[in-house]
Amino acid sequence: MADRALRGMGLGSKSFEDEEGVEMAERQEIGFDCPNGHHFEITFSVEAELPGVWECPRCGAESHRSDGTKAEKKKEKPQRTHWDMLTERRSIPELEELLKERLEEIRKE
């Protein structure tokens, strides 16, 4: 009986910690301004992908972040294309030369 009570307490304190953990998860409030002058804040988890726009809870208008930050996705570096990588390694005249050589080889076959 005493053993069971102890175990119960153990479980209880564990789940309490978990709850607190959720409660303590870092959050951030992001302010938005709607075009109709409404300002509101939405709470996000720090791990959440932050949107650049949010629907105004009062009028439904698309609202932009008060801090002027655009959606996080757009902050990422633009993806380099194969062409970008190619032009980093070779100049255009070099590429033209290579292409010519290649084409000649292909035509020979």
Nearer of residues 34 and 50 to Zn ion, judged by Cβ: 34
Look at residues 61, 14, 12, 7 and name the one whose alpha carbon lies nearest to residue 33. 61
Alpha-carbon span 77 to 81, nearest angstrom: 12
Burial-class residue 96 by CB neighbours within 10 Å (0-12, 13-18, 19+): exposed
Site map (CB under 5 A) of Zn ion, residues 53-72, x = contact: ---x-xx-x-----------
Site for Zn ion in 23-42 (CB under 5 A): 34, 36, 38
Residues of this chain that bind Zn ion (CB under 5 A): 34, 36, 38, 56, 58-59, 61
Residue numbering of the annotated binding site for Zn(2+): 34, 38, 56, 59
